[in-house]
Each structure stands twice: as structure tokens, then as C-alpha cells.
Chain A
Amino acid sequence: MNSLYNYAFFDEGSKREIRRAILKAVALPGYQVPFASREMPIARGWGTGGLQLTLSLVGRSDVLKVIDQGSDDSVNAVNIRKFVSGTTGVAVTEDAREATIIQSRHRIPESPLREGQVLVLQVPLPEPLRLIEPSEYKTKRLHAERDYSGAYLVLFEEIQRYGRVATGADHPVEVHGRYVMAPSPIPRFDNPKLDGNPALILLGAGREKKIYAVPPYTKVRSLDFEDQPFRVEDFGSAACGLCGASGVYLDELVDPSTGSKTWRCNDTSECASRRRASQEAADAS
């Protein structure tokens, strides 16, 4: 590594300030801790919140994985990975099992996380009540008074409009029986993975200058109604066209030449490792 910048880009004072915000966020699960979001060499809205968390945490022995919408190879993921490894020299991986820090946009990896790992999620809109209350001053009051009826009202209105809860992503969750938080735009499919997860989950919103956290083994409940329980996306009997997996989060693809539908694993590194494993099994026999 030969960089003109300080280790991990930030000066030590910035890292310390962000770590302090992280400690407070861990102490108050789901509470949005304000922090002095820095100007980053990527644009706000491209993962600056997550990047600042990663840079303030990364040590020389860490192994980094970066995911963008389930893929390790999209522009956002490649650039963030290059930036962090370029300013720190840490090892990078595509395997979620090997990584110690996983920065992700829109997904929680399919393979279960373990103790000691840190999942950093990039958040565009940290305030779950923003849709019904534009004033930050008032949403703070609502959190303080634990009035989350607005979040339920949004879900109720979806049922009125579409006949069911139709949040495509960012379905609000209650953390540790207290704060309601926006889990970042992960699909509903990933919400149950937040509950009791052995890894530390940190969420960073760079533009909105907020950090919040789900500590390991914290109870996380997706908001729902008595007669409309929370449900994850259902892919029926569909399976990935490449690795054959089912029961994972799938992307629907349409072949433009034939118009036929196929499905692919959204988590590309999991898909690739499954294919490698079945190839090895085939070679061995």
C-alpha cells in the first residue's frame, strides 16, 4: 500500500468521533445517533454513511466484503472496495464467511453471519416516520414518546390500496421492544435475519447524518397487524436457473429474445460458491 492519505482515509479524530457515535448507537439499539457526516470522495446517496462506518472500524487484520444489491461486482461495490483496500491495504473477499466487515447496500448475505462479524448497511432514509411527518423536530418527539402509530398508518394505507402490506423494501422494524427503525432498503425477505443475529449490524446514513445499530442477539420485530401478520416475499416453487437453489431471494429475469421468465440468485457470491461446490462434487465422482 502506498497512499498519500492517512490510514483508512480519515484523520484519527474523525475516526474517534464516528466510533463514539457507534458506541452510543450500540448502547441504544435502534436509536438514530446524529454524527458529523464527512464529505467523502463518493457522492452522498452512494453509500457515504456505510463507508464512514467501515473506514472508522477497519483494522489491518480485517477482511472486507462489499455488496451492492446482492452483487460484489456492481460499480458501487467495486469502487467502495477499491477505495477501502487502497487506503488501508486490508484483504478483500467475496465470501461472506471469510469477511470480518461486510458493507452492504440492499441485502443481508444469504449465508448466516456469525459472532465477531460486522454488517454495515448503507441507509438513504433513516427515519421510518418521515413519510407521515416531515419535521425532524416532531419525529424526534414521536420517538421519545414512543408514538409509532404513523408507521402503522402507512402499512394500513397500503392494505387499503393494494389489499396487503406491499412494502417492497425498508419494512419498519421494532428493535429491542423500544425504537422503531428503518432497516435500510433490504427486502422484507431479509427482515427476519435481523432478529437475534449473532453479528453486529451497523447502519449509516451519510446524507442524513445518522448512525444506528442492532447489537448482536437483539430482538427485532417487523411491524404488522393482528390479522395481517408479517410475511416475506414468496417465490413459490421458483429456483435459481444457475445453481438450482430455492428458498433464497431471487431476481426475475426476462429473456428479451424469447420473452420467457427465468430466476437467478440475488446473492451472486453464494450462487457462485454453490455452483463451484456442485462442480467439485461432479468432478470427484
Chain B
Amino acid sequence: MRPERFLLKVDSLSKSYGEGCPRCSGPGATLDRNHCRRCGTVYAVRGVSFELYPGEVLGIVGESGSGKSTVLNCLYYDTVASSGSVYLGSYREGAEDALAVSAQAKRAIRNELLGKVYQDPVEGLRMKFSAVANVAEKMICAGSRNVGAMEERARRLLGLVNIPLGRMGEAPERFSGGMRQRVQIAKALSNNPPLIFLDEVTTGLDLSVQAKVLDLIMDIQRESGVGMLLVSHDLAVVRMLATRTMVMLDGRMVEQGLTDQILEDPQHPYTQELVHSLL
């Protein structure tokens, strides 16, 4: 077993939309893929458990609607999980369920211990505020009230993600897609969190920009050792970044293991299909 403490431990996380009915919630429940035909309840995530250790990059792959992003949303408190527990190594040494704490504690965890890069930068950034203010926002949320210090750190992080010095004062609405993603990465890193979530970071970017963003993420990971949870439907992205990978289908985790193992020797029929469609 690993000697270190986990960064993140997720225990049978579930998220459903709807009330459920005897047909879909009792024992021997039958579902159409991930929803109930009778009551219309959608089971977006069903009993997903996994662990993430320091310095590790865990990839989550699966087709659209398989529940990948919902897992991240629950972990980042963007949506409220229906059931399950989440333990963070950086919060009370992993002893307390981070889904069961007060709203203030959740806000503090989100601002100080986590970072997230959204697929759509409009969700993750304030498009009309300057890039510097966007990066500083998380620092303000974490309680910093020193303009000089926040400015300096924001500019250093924006430099790290290759935003030209002259454009740091501009608003992201005037940035290209790749630049917006890089500002989001800088923002996610602003409080030096031990763990960041990446949701389809390269989707919608052209190939050369994709490569640059991926290189940047790899460099940051290698230098800072930050733990990453990476959602992607692109197996190439996962192969490049993730040390371990889990495969989701209809809200369930169907397979998990070392990325190479999953890609070279897939066990579950769905994973086999997924890998074959790529190679």
C-alpha cells in the first residue's frame, strides 16, 4: 500500500435528478442506461468511489452524458451531491466528510484548497474584469486584502501561463480561447491548492493550441506536483497527462487502473469499444 495520505477520497458518490420511484430506487431496479423510464429520474452519477494521491493525475474518460463533469461539479460544490462522502487530505487531515460541512466551510475549501478549470471559460472567469483581477479573485476570497501582494502573485502566475505582460490588464472577453483557458489555469493555481480539477480543458481549441495548453499543464504538474483530476472524452489527452484513468459509463465507474493498462488492455466491453474507436 501507499505510505502517503490520499489527497482526495471519494466514497460512493451519487447524484440524481428527480424523486425516484419503486421501479428505479428499490432492490433489483431497472434503468434505461442512466434514467428511469417510468418516473424520469436521471441517475447522473451512481456510487462512484476512487482515491487520488499526491502528485498524481487521475483521468476520467467516458462519452457525453456519462457523468464525468457531474463528478467534478459535486466535488467543487457547483452542484449538490445526492449522497456519498468526500474526504480531502488537506482538510482536517481527511477525517471529515467535506460534503457534510457548513456552507462557510465549503466556501473556504473551494477557495483555498481547490481550483477548477471549466470547459467553458465564461463559467470560470468574469469576462469583463481584467485578467489580473480574475486571478486575484480567489486570493480575495481566501481573505487577502493586500493589493500589492495580490497583484504581484497574479502577474507572476499569468506570466507562468504565458499571458503577455501588456495584456494582463485586459479583460478575458478580448482574449482568444486558448488564452482564456490559460487565465483559468492561473486562477485555479492562485492559492497554491494541493488539488485542481480540469474539465475538458482542451475541447474546442485547435490542435496546435491544444498542444500548448497540454504542455503547460504537464510542466506545471511536473514542477509543482499538484494533484489533478482530469475529465476528458479525448483519450489522447488522458494518455498524455494521466497516470491513472477511470472509465465511466451511464453514471457508473466501469473500469479503473493505470492509464497504459486501460488503453493497452481494456477489460470492460465499453472500454474496449472506446479504445478501438480511437486506435
Contacts and interface: CB of A to CB of B under 8 A. Distances in A.
Interface of A: 132, 141, 145-147, 149, 152-153, 156-157, 159-161, 225-228
A160 B133 contact: yes
Nearest to A152: B140
A160 B146 contact: no
A147 B147 CA distance: 18
Contacts of A152: 140, 145
Given A147-B107, A160-B169, A161-B169, A228 B147 contact: yes
Nearest to A151: B140
B146 A225 contact: yes
Nearest to B150: A156
Contact size range, B: 20 to 34
Contacts of B133: 153, 156-157, 160
8 contacts: A145-B104, A147-B107, A147-B141, A153-B137, A160-B130, A161-B169, A225-B147, A228-B147
Given A132-B126, A149-B141, A156 B147 contact: yes
In the A-B complex, the 7 residue pairs with the closest CB atoms = A149-B141, A157-B133, A149-B140, A226-B146, A225-B147, A160-B130, A152-B140
Given A156-B133, A226-B145, 7 more contacts: A145-B104, A147-B141, A156-B147, A157-B129, A160-B130, A161-B130, A226-B146
Contacts of A161: 130, 169
B140 to A, nearest CB: 5
A160 B133 CA distance: 7
B146 A227 contact: yes
A206 to B, nearest CB: 29
B52 interface: no
Interface of B: 103-104, 107, 126, 129-130, 132-133, 136-137, 140-141, 145-151, 169
B148 A227 contact: yes
Contacts of A141: 103
Nearest to B148: A227
Nearest to B168: A160
B103 A156 contact: no
Contacts of A157: 129-130, 133
Contacts of A228: 147
A141 B136 CA distance: 22
B154 to A, nearest CB: 9
B147 A149 contact: no
A160 B146 CA distance: 13
A144 to B, nearest CB: 8
A227 B147 contact: yes
Contacts of B129: 153, 157
A156 B130 CA distance: 10
A228 B136 CA distance: 16
Contacts of A149: 137, 140-141
Nearest to A155: B147
A227 to B, nearest CB: 5
